Structure 1
Amino acid sequence: MTAITRRHLLTAISGAAVARTMEASAQTTTVEKTLIAAARSKNLTYGAAMATWQTDRDVVLRRTFDRQCGTIVPEWEMKWGAIEGTRGTRNYTGADRVVSFAASHGLTCRGHAAIWYRNLPKWVEPALKAEGVEVMAAHIQDLMAHYKGKIKSWDIVNEAIEPKDGLADSLRNTPFLRQLGSDYIGRAFTIAAEADPNIQGFYNEYGLYHNDSKDHDRRTAVLALLQKLKQQGVPIYGLGIQGHHDLARPFDPSVFAAFLRDVAGLGLKILITELDIDDRSLSQTVSERDRLVAERATAFLTTALSERAVEGVLTWGLSDKYSWLNTSTYQKRSDGTMNRCLPYDENFQTKPFWYSLYYALRNAPSR
């Protein structure tokens, strides 16, 4: 790993200033400078989450994916509830459209997510209780078979840690844990790898980056889980770090760098999978909020990309217009303005966040 030096920290602090300077020339520079070009120059990847209801209605969004991204990931279309709401009736229509969009635009597609405790059909837990692991296995096997040769990078298990639930190993109290026991995570990876030996299976988790007790506990539990999986010989490729930042919570580059170093030391790759930056705690002007979002993005991305085990960055969307932080009623800002959480505003104009992302990718160590 490249150490987080004083120079890196100064780069992080000054990054937002660079972003503000570059924003003035957005209309001319983004023609030549793209996020995917910056990423590829260092053998990294950049991409974003998409949903078909968004791309169906918005040609500008489609063009932005085509121009800026190398990878896409479906927001909802591959989750169990979207595919098999009724047992025995599996519908891949929405997910297939995401994969087709990727193929038609020369992009790769990530799989998200095979096993997640949310967006889970109501029939699943009773079936798990009655029939055991074969219910989970059937779902994973069909998912891997359907996309064999089309999707390589997969979030196999998503958000299985929750320290506040108070259970052994800080595991989240989910239907899978209740009905299959604590080894369901390792079994899910093994089932997936047996179904498609060529996949790269990730464990994906949020809350690994803020410098407070809540995220400290989650980092500790996730690291222990990863160590256990490796010791057991589970075929896990890497850790997905979501990156849903809250500006009301602190970030310390040295603490995060140490965590990345520990994960890399297990022989695992790392991907930033769902980056966005929540500004609901801020009451400042839009321009000041943009500056603070860019500062956090620069500090986080400079730290992350200094670790050579990190293979790339995906933002959870491209434009504020379609962010879950603006489209989910319970997530919206109380003042009615847009959360300035993604690289593009609602009119697809680049913001300081875009430049923080661009320069972090372009200045990262080569892989």
Structure 2
Amino acid sequence: MRIHHHIGRRTRSGLLAGLLAATSALAMGIAVAQPGTAEAAASLRSLADAKGRDIGFALDPNRLSESPYKQIADAEFNLVVAENAMKWEVTEPNRNQFSFGQGDAVVNYAVGSNKKVYGHTLVWHNQMPGWTSNLSGSDLLAAMKNHIAGVAGHYKGKVFAWDVVNEAFADGGSGGRRDSILQQRIGNSWIEEAFRAARAADPDAKLCINDYSTDGINAKSTAIYNLVKDFKSRGVPIDCVGFQAHLIIGQVPGDMQANLQRFTDLGVDVRVTELDIRMSTPANSSKLATQAADYKKVMNICLAVARCQGVTVWGITDKYSWIPGTFPGEGAALIWDENYAPKPAYQAVAEALGSGTTPTTPAPTTPVPTTPVPTTPAPTTPAPTTPAPNGSCTVTYVPNSWGNGFTAEIRIRNDGPDPVNAWSFGFYFTAGQQVTNAWNATVSQSGTQVLARNASYNGAVAVGGTVSFGFQGTHTGSNPSPTSFTFNGKVCANG
């Protein structure tokens, strides 16, 4: 796919690819846990789920054949946005001839990995198909509305929110509209027309306007603020505002939280939609520490604003970042490096979301942490009774439910008397719940019985030590927590 790079925008994108990545990280002065020496960390996904927030990434579906890319995508995110696959030139390359192959690949991946899909983008002055360039104003308006109806209609019920209009305002201090073909030929009404068309195509989708260099209070963000205020006063459908947040280390706006808050005070949601934080390259430990602090700051800002729905990073790995091609001499903007090693920014995001642990470094042959599990229909027979705890282990089961889905984080403490070098962990569901994927363990399910086994890197648990893993599942309205657990065949107490 052709990818257009431009100021203030795009990229692509954990886990480690292997010991080579760990070695390179250590050479830069970055602390990396070694296999079997630290408790496995909770994923960003599970931490965000527990906070009721989105943690997303921009997906190029062609990268899913690359194992570490897919491993991270599967395990670490609960939201996916198409990097380029849903843009106008891709979805309608010829007038009235729609092409949804790439976009459908994004949606199918999201469905298969239980992620939400955020649509990007219905109308943008860039990456428009060539056939639009010679249309008159009235014909361009008709083509735009028809395009929105075709794309939003195709993904109705699959995409929960759309960047309806992207980058409609000019750079600099004027706060005016961008002098695009849409603005020139249709006039000021084109943004409103786009939002009304999107609402007609999918009445249930959240409709957003998205832009860059609007993270702080400035002329450009104020122009969008005034547009939203006008739309809300006149009943023009708009539900949310996206702040791209393509930032430079050390330059997170001091008034970013106040800026996001003033938009939510108008009655719309906000989200950080395309976060990356670049630096002059090569990276070093000092720059990476500043970057980590900035990532944590942005995450904390979102968490402090009640209607901030979440944060999406514009890619996974520096290997595929758009930054070096647009800003020569700059890069290293994402939270995994070119070898898929988690950078200090990964830990910073995890800490902001509530984790105090360090991501474990898998060995080179570590299997995919997010393990698909067969969805065997649950029998109607009750779970067998389990004997009383024998004092050798304590389990904490922390669920988080929504709709017909849920996640659970399980922490197991080895109360002795002996350390273990490998473990299996079992329990029973009582209401037909089904595990769909897991992290930091290999999980299988047969009927009501669920069995988890350690990953290659977290089998050793000292006396008094703990290990954790998590999984995602589905339920049909009732989701009671399991009450009995076994660890290497011994019955655990509930923590």
Using structure 1 for the length normalisation, give the TM-score: 0.83
- Structure 1 residue 21 displacement after superposition: 11
Match of 2:69 among 45, 61, 75: 61
More strand by share: 2
Computing the radius of gyration over CA atoms, which structure comes out larger, 1 or 2? 2
Tell me the equivalent position of 2:256: 256
Corresponding residue for residue 39 of structure 1: 48
Following the alignment from structure 2 to structure 1, what is the Cα–Cα distance between the partners of residues 110 and 35?
A: 26
2: CA distance, partners of 1:122 / 1:144: 21
1:11 match? none
Residue 153 (structure 1) aligned with residue 149 (structure 2): no
Q: Tell me the SS of whatever aligns to 2:164.
A: strand
Letter in 1 for 2:52: N
Which residue identity does 2:67 align to in structure 1?
V
**Residues 29, 285 of structure 2: 8 Å contact kept:** no
User: CA offsets per residue over residues 149-169 of structure 1, 9 Å max, x none?
Assistant: 111111100011115495xx6
Q: Which residue of 2 aligns with 1:295?
A: 293
In structure 1, C-alpha distance between the alignment counterparts of 2:145 and 2:253, rounded to whole Å = 40
- State the partner residue of 2:336: 344
Alignment of 1:175-214 (within 5 A): 175-209=181-215
1:28-177 matches, within 5 Å, as: 31-56=40-65, 58-129=66-137, 131-164=139-172, 170-177=176-183
Q: Note if contact 1:163-1:217 (Cα within 8 Å) is conserved in structure 2.
A: no
1:56-93 deviations in Å (ceiling 9; x for gaps): 3x111111111001111111010001122222322111
Change (3 A) 1:199 1:142: same
Code of the aligned partner of 1:54? R
Alignment correspondent of 2:326: 330
Q: Which amino acid aligns with 2:271?
A: L
Q: CA deviation at 1:321?
A: 1.1
Structure having the higher helix fraction is 1
Unpaired stretches in structure 1, ≥5 consecutive residues = 1-19
For residues 98 and 132 of structure 1, what CA distance do their matches in structure 2 show?
Answer: 28
1:163/1:221 contact within 8 Å kept: no
Q: Distance in 2 between matches of 1:181 and 1:140?
A: 18
Instruction: Tell me which residue corresponds to 2:373.
Output: none
**Corresponding letter in the other structure for 1:266:** L
Q: Encode CA deviations 1:13-43: one digit per residue, 9 max, x unaligned.
A: xxxxxxx999543766684411011111111
In the TM superposition, what is the alpha-carbon distance from 1:244 to its structure 2 partner?
A: 0.5
Query: Residue 247 of structure 2 contacts residue 275 of structure 2 at CA under 8 Å; is this kept in 1?
Result: yes
Q: What is the alpha-carbon distance in structure 1 between the residues aligned to residue 58 and residue 294 of structure 2?
A: 20
State which drifts further: 107-116 or 21-30: 21-30
Q: Is the 8 A contact 1:320 1:345 kept in 2?
A: yes
SS at match of 1:170: coil
The aligned counterpart of 2:279 is 279
Q: 1:138 to 1:356 in 2, by over 3 A?
A: same
2:304 paired residue number? 306
Task: Summarize deviations over 1:271-315 as a string: whole Å, max 9, x none.
Answer: 1111000113x66x5222211111221222222321111011110
Counterpart secondary structure, 1:279: strand
Partners of 2:169 and 2:78 in 1: how far apart? 30
Quick check: 1:156–1:188 contact (8 Å CA) kept in 2? yes
Higher relative contact order (Cα pairs below 8 Å, separated by 6+ residues)? 1
Q: Name the % identity.
A: 27
Counterpart-to-counterpart distance in 1, 2:171 and 2:234: 22
Look up the equivalent residue of 2:323 and give its one-letter code: L
AA at the equivalent of 2:352: A
Match of 2:358 in 1: none
> Which of the residues 353, 357, 363 maps onto 2:345?
353
Q: In the TM superposition, what whole-angstrom CA distance separates every residue of 1:162-210 from its partner, at most 9, and x where no partner exists? A: 15495xx611111111111112111111111111111001111111225
**1:1-20 mapped onto 2 (5 Å cutoff):** none
User: What is the rounded CA distance, in whole Å, between the counterparts of 1:30 and 1:278 in structure 2?
Assistant: 30
RMSD: 2.4
CA deviation digits over 1:106-142, x for unaligned, max 9? Answer: 1121110000010011221422435242111100000
Partner Cα distance (2:48, 2:34) in 1: 18
For 2:341 and 2:242, the matched residues in 1 are separated by: 28
The 1-side partners of 2:267 and 2:257 are apart by: 16
> Distance between the aligned counterparts of 2:326 and 2:269, measured in 1?
34
Distance 1:26 1:73, change over 3 A: farther
User: For the Cα contact (< 8 Å) 1:204–1:240, is it kept in 2?
Assistant: yes
Answer yes or no: is the 8 Å Cα contact 1:70–1:107 preserved in 2: yes
